[in-house]
Amino acid sequence: MSTGEPTAEEIVQTASDAAEGYVFSQYKQSAVRDLDVTVSFEDGVLEVDVYLNAPETADAPDPEQVADDAALTAREAVDDLFGE
């Protein structure tokens, strides 16, 4: 059963790792109060939801934007996985 396609587990793990990696590239880990990355891949459909609770300060990026960008980064990582 070697189709060359990544497994659903590989896809979910890749997306989750990419989203978390992006968040922690924007914030120190100690600054993040809560992070929840939910990824599902069913019937060829990838869903990524990122909840981020981080401080809103003048010198820190907007948490909502970081969460949105993390979800996009996760999708791009999965696209790259399929492109390999």
Residue 66 CA to residue 3 CA, distance in Å, equals: 35
Q: Is 1 contained in some domain?
A: no
User: pLDDT tens digits for the chain (84 residues)?
Assistant: 456 789 999 999 999 999 999 999 999 999 999 999 999 999 999 999 999 999 888 788 999 999 999 999 999 999 999 886
pLDDT (0 to 100) of residue 1: 45
How far is Cα 40 from Cα 74, in angstroms, rounded to an integer? 11
Give the pLDDT of residue 57: 80
Please indicate, yes or no, if residue 41 is contained in any of the structural domains: yes
Q: What is the pLDDT of residue 8?
A: 95
Q: Which domain holds residue 21?
A: 8-83
Number of domains in the chain: 1
pTM over 0.85: yes
Q: Give the whole-angstrom CA distance, residue 8 versus residue 14.
A: 10
